[in-house]
Structure 1
């Protein structure tokens, strides 16, 4: 999943909650992104933080709902990117990490 946050603190809070609630196995936080977008008719340019979350298909909808609940934005960026392959041992770790929630 790809999520943007207003700052590192929000990204950490959101990431910790999803990992602790077993809605994500892992979160990667990237500082220093600049977003250019139109909001309410105005072109805006703001610093944001990107969060990549690793989860499973059967956790996706609950994770999205939880992110929206925790997020400070009126319309948070939450998108899902499919995983089409990868290191089998890592993919097993993700599944094992989220299997008991």
Structure 2
């Protein structure tokens, strides 16, 4: 599972739609607004963000990270990977079948 956030619900839904459509994730969940507090470049920031969670495979993580960064306006978008210690075999199989791992890009 990958956790991220978006600055507004419209962008969160767009990111979720694109990542599912491109088969980088089996499922994308868009949560309700929350307030994030953090230090950025030495200043305390507080803003409303939309939480995102993505169900994917370990093999798809590099491509998912690349694509999320392309779609996201933040200089450093949140990208936290949480491993599954256990889970329903049927669900994990569905995730694996739903995610298409793009071929590794060749060096230029």
Q: How many pairs does the alignment contain?
A: 101
Aligned to 2:88: 87
CA-to-aligned-CA distance 1:28-51 (integer Å, 9 cap, x gap): 111121100011211011110110
5 Å-filtered alignment, 1:54-93, equals 54-93=55-94
CA-to-aligned-CA distance 1:20-79 (integer Å, 9 cap, x gap): 111000011111211000112110111101100000011000000000011011111111
Structure 1: 5+ residue runs without aligned partners? none
**RMSD, matched Cα:** 1.3
Stretches of 4+ aligned residues off by more than 3 angstroms: none
Higher mean alpha-carbon deviation, 84-93 vs 47-56, is at 84-93
Deviation at 1:99, TM superposition (A): 4.6
8 Å Cα contact 2:24-2:100 kept in structure 1: no
State the TM-score, normalized to the length of structure 2. Answer: 0.88
Deviation at 1:97, TM superposition (A): 1.1
Q: Tell me, in whole angstroms, the C-alpha distance in 2 between the residues paired with 1:52 and 1:40.
A: 26
State the TM-score, normalized to the length of structure 1. Answer: 0.94
